[in-house]
Amino acid sequence: MDSQILRQIFIGIICNLLIIDSGLNEGWSTPIIPKFERDDPLKVSSDEVVWIVNLMYIGIGLGTVVPFLLMDRIGRKGTLLFATIPKIASWILIGLAATTQQLYIGRILAGIGCGITYAVMPMYLGEVSSKRTRGPLGTLMAVLLNTGMMLAYVIGLWVSRFTMSMIALTVPVLFLMTFIWLPESSVFLTKKNRLTSAEKTLKWALGKDDVVEELEEIKRMLATEDLKIKKTFMKSFMEMCRRQENRRAFGIAVIVLSALSITGAAPILAYQSHIFQEAGFKISSNISIIITGCTIVIAGSICVLVVRRTGKRLLLLISAPIAVASLLMMAIFFGLMSAGNDVSGLRWVPSVFLVIYVLGYGIALNPVPLAYIGEIFHIDVKVPAAIFCSLYYAITSITVVKLYQVLQESYGTYMPMTVFTVITCIIWVLIYRYVPETEGKTLEEIQIELRKKN
């Protein structure tokens, strides 16, 4: 393994501490929600539980405003350092909350920190990595997001809300102490005409002395933009709508983010303890939850290991039908149960197929979209694109979680499972028809391909 790869791995590990923290926030609700019904001193209703889950996604939407205000002023690095403030504050509030209002504020702050992270981290990693490592580093973000979720399950199932929050607090603190020593993005430095600093960053990040080719590529990417004029958000948004390659990137982003957010993963993972209890399988809910946590990490790890050989598009096309089949089997089981049929011999179905669903989701539907977002947008529309992507993820996640609750309470668990089956199947077709392969290509090559296909 050469020094370049080692340096890129080092950067990826430090950067993804903030992603692990986001996973802890995403996974927090799964082990903690049942505690509100049992041993937690704070008691909440079912409607309040939905708000506790969804307020984090509302916070993600709010957090997307921060990159617009800061990213082109203080840089990608400065914006990510700023994200640690709401993240640290959120864990303190969540751990100490004595009222639902305090818990709400903590979850909103957690979402704001996650929103900043989701918008900026793919861009930062995409701009400091080489084309050899961009794919694995991009998918590694989702793997470590899943690792954070698994840690939330493992820790949260066995300790109190306060203890879990204090343990989780160490992650953003560690990120703050280590990331502060990493360099700013070379693309941002070049955009600000700080070419000497950009060259130094490239040499350090790529682990080599000759970076003329990489620096020239960045200059070519920026050639279409007047570096001396700061574009307003509206001008950048209009630029995104005007150019065909940007509209194509916009459409690709909607498809892959839909694979991430509206295929049902957020509510299914948040309410999986209730799903296991309703099915009545003999294995305890805690063990089943830990198994799903381990499965999604293993699936994401497989993605990182094989993505350079298979490409991201093929993994998406493999992942989606696995999720469709699993959702369909769970829909059939709960449909039979709702109709009054004897399912005593089939109570293993939800536990087994939920794990298979998580495996399929974790192979590509979860890790690949973030990698695409960091690659497909031109430099002059990255800020509005990042904001749009985070807002889209937040709004669709809020909608899906609420949709699950309404359909489950009105018709039974089979109904949301059926709806997610249909949605995932449609997304599978859209991926096949419209999503191109980007693995192993430079950012410039990706833009050229997007222009050619219009």
pLDDT digits (tens, 9 = 90+) for 339-369: 989 888 888 898 899 999 999 998 889 888 8
| Helix axis angle, 65-96 to 161-179, nearest 10° | 140
pLDDT digits (tens, 9 = 90+) for 212-242: 666 777 776 666 554 434 555 556 556 656 6
pLDDT of residue 111: 93
Instruction: Say which range, 215-219, 370-374, 405-409, has the weakest mean pLDDT.
Output: 215-219
pLDDT of residue 279: 83
Structure tokens at 336: 């039979």
pLDDT at residue 136 greater than cutoff 90:
no
**What's the CA gap between 402 and 54, in Å, rounded?**
8
Nearest alpha carbon to residue 173 among 65, 83, 55: 83
Please, is 316 exposed, middle or buried when counting C-beta atoms within 10 Å of its C-beta (0-12, 13-18, 19+)? buried
Mean pLDDT value across the chain: 83
Q: How many CB atoms lie within 10 A of CB 341?
A: 11
Q: How many CB atoms lie within 10 A of CB 429?
A: 11
Please, is 213 exposed, middle or buried when counting C-beta atoms within 10 Å of its C-beta (0-12, 13-18, 19+)? exposed
Instruction: Say which range, 29-33, 99-103, 130-134, 321-325, has the weakest mean pLDDT.
Output: 130-134
pLDDT of residue 2: 61
Nearest alpha carbon to residue 393 among 366, 358, 426, 415: 366
Strands (DSSP E) found in 345-396: none
Looking at mean pLDDT, say which of 110-119, 126-135, 410-419 comes out highest. Answer: 410-419
Average pLDDT rounded to a whole number, residues 130-136: 66
Percent of the chain, pLDDT > 70? 86
Average pLDDT rounded to a whole number, residues 380-407: 83
Instruction: Say which range, 81-85, 128-132, 267-271, 418-422, has the weakest mean pLDDT.
Output: 128-132
Q: What is the band of 131 on the pLDDT scale with cuts at 50, 70, 90?
A: low
Three-state DSSP state, 264:
coil
**What's the CA gap between 252 and 378, in Å, rounded?**
13
**What's the CA gap between 289 and 268, in Å, rounded?**
11
pLDDT at residue 40 greater than cutoff 50:
yes
pLDDT digits (tens, 9 = 90+) for 86-124: 999 999 999 999 899 999 999 999 999 998 988 788 778
Nearest alpha carbon to residue 366 among 446, 433, 430, 303: 303
Q: Residues 436, 252: contact at Cβ < 8 Å? A: yes
pLDDT digits (tens, 9 = 90+) for 43-82: 887 778 888 888 998 898 888 778 777 877 888 888 999 9
pLDDT digits (tens, 9 = 90+) for 137-191: 766 777 788 889 889 988 988 899 999 999 999 999 999 999 988 888 777 787 7
pLDDT of residue 229: 43
pLDDT of residue 89: 96
Amino acid letter, 29:
S
pTM to 2 decimal places: 0.76
pLDDT of residue 228: 38
Q: What is the band of 3 on the pLDDT scale with cuts at 50, 70, 90?
A: low
pLDDT at residue 379 greater than cutoff 90:
no
